[in-house]
Amino acid sequence: MTGPTRSTTQPPRYDLGGCTVTLVKGGSLKLDGGAMFGLIPKPLWSRTYPADDQNRIQLACNCLLVEWPGVSDRRLIIETGHGPKYGEKEQRIFAIDPARWLRPALLGLHVDPASITDVVVSHLHFDHAGGLTWERDGRLVPTFPNARVHVQRREFEDARAGFGIMTATYREDSFTPIDEIDAWRLLDGEAEIVSGVRSRPTPGHTRGHHSIVIAGRDRSLVFGGDLMPTRHHLGGPYNMAYDLFPLDNRKSKKELLAWLAARDGLLALDHELETPIVSVRPKDDWFELFPSHGL
């Protein structure tokens, strides 16, 4: 049985066959529209994606909760969004509401963060790993005190060394509390994370960026991370200026879209506002997307 079910209070949930995936909102932010669309001229992208008076566009931070009905010792979160640790200036620049992030969203769904056994992040930029930690009683602590945190070793080493072109997108305050509980699990390339969930390296946005493949009995769903942040980034040349290796990202994107199209897989788009989960079909020499969000 596949396909989403939805009620007024529950977020979209997908039954992949022996495994369910629930979309959880890890917050939202605004980034410069020009930077989000790299080489693409504004008259093109702004036709379908309006910018505000500061040229920023609204982005979601989509996270996934993965559960296996009948299996109580495995409950996984993919991506943690921007988290709560922002001063007034950053809140203004990024239009971040520090009260709206993954932890309160999970509590709203009656999911205890202490029940999460595994967290996977696509890469360690602030809007993906910021929700790994928060401040409680004046002290920075892990949001998921009992979870292993899975990331590619390449990404982890680059993050800790500050390898990149953006200043301060890797934030130690999201990392050191995880060091303290020795929860990092570093992956070397293609690897199984837990039974039914695999890491698929998709370098380009960063060189250690990976996508996460969730295989159900009936269908697979892939969390693509910043490989393709919104449905507006489908086209080959639609890279972000933030991508460290744009040609590599384009190759990773084409390969993943082809893989999904070949098996009717679902793709989760990390920053997409309207259709966060899509299916992929071939079209001419590229692909087209169809919303799959419980319309």
Least distance (Å) from Zn ion to the CB of residue 31? 8
Phi, psi of 48, rounded to the nearest 5 degrees: -110, -5
Which two structure tokens, joined as six digits, stand for 272? 């997409």
Q: Which is nearer to Zn ion, 215 or 240 (CB)?
A: 240
Name the minimum Å distance from CB 15 to Zn ion.
28
**Which window, 68-76, 159-167, 172-180, 222-230, contacts Zn ion (CB under 5 A)?**
222-230
Contact 185, 156 (CB under 8 A): no
Spatial separation of the C-alpha atoms in residues 28 and 62, rounded to whole Å: 8
Assess contact for 247 and 206: CB atoms under 8 A. no
Shortest spacing between CB 97 and Zn ion, in angstroms: 17
207: its two tokens:
């060189």
Is 155 a residue that touches Zn ion (CB under 5 A)? no
Say how many residues touch Zn ion, by CB under 5 A.
2
Q: Which range, of 12-20, 21-29, 69-77, 124-132, touches Zn ion by CB under 5 A? A: 124-132
> If you compute the radius of gyration of the chain from its CA atoms, what whole number of angstroms results?
18
The three-state (H, E, C) secondary structure of 201-215, written as one string: ECCCCCCCCEEEEEE
Distance in Å, CB of 163 to Zn ion, minimum? 16
Report the site for Zn ion in 3-32 (rule: CB under 5 A). none
Q: Per-residue x/- mask for Zn ion, residues 229 to 268, rule CB under 5 A?
A: ----------------------------------------
CB nearer Zn ion, residue 82 or residue 219: 82
Give the separation between CA 142 and CA 121, rounded to whole angstroms. 14
CA of residue 226 relative to chain centroid, distance: 7
Nearer to Zn ion, 226 or 248 (CB): 226
- Which of 201/224 has CB closer to Zn ion? 224
- In the complex, what is the shortest distance from the CB of residue 271 to Zn ion, in angstroms, rounded to a whole number? 6
In angstroms, the CA 84 to CA 105 distance is: 12
CB of 146 to Zn ion, least distance (A): 26
Q: Which two tokens stand for residue 23?
A: 């979309």
Structure tokens at 263: 């098996």
Tokens representing 168? Answer: 């301060």
Tell me how far, at minimum, the Cβ of 262 lies from Zn ion, in Å.
27
Task: Tell the residue number behind the tokens 């369910």, with chain if given.
Answer: 20
User: Which range, of 22-30, 68-76, 221-229, 248-256, touches Zn ion by CB under 5 A?
Assistant: 221-229
Q: Would you count residue 226 as binding Zn ion (CB under 5 A)?
A: yes
Q: Which of residues 127, 243, 248, 272 is near Zn ion by CB under 5 A?
A: 127
Binding segment for Zn ion (CB under 5 A), chosen from 63-71, 86-94, 125-133, 150-158, is 125-133
Long-range contacts of 71-74 (CB under 8 A, 24+ apart): 73/117, 74/117, 74/118, 74/194, 74/195
Please report, as residue ranges, which positions from 48 to 107 form the binding site for Zn ion (by CB under 5 A). Answer: none
The residue ranges that bind Zn ion (CB under 5 A) are 127, 226
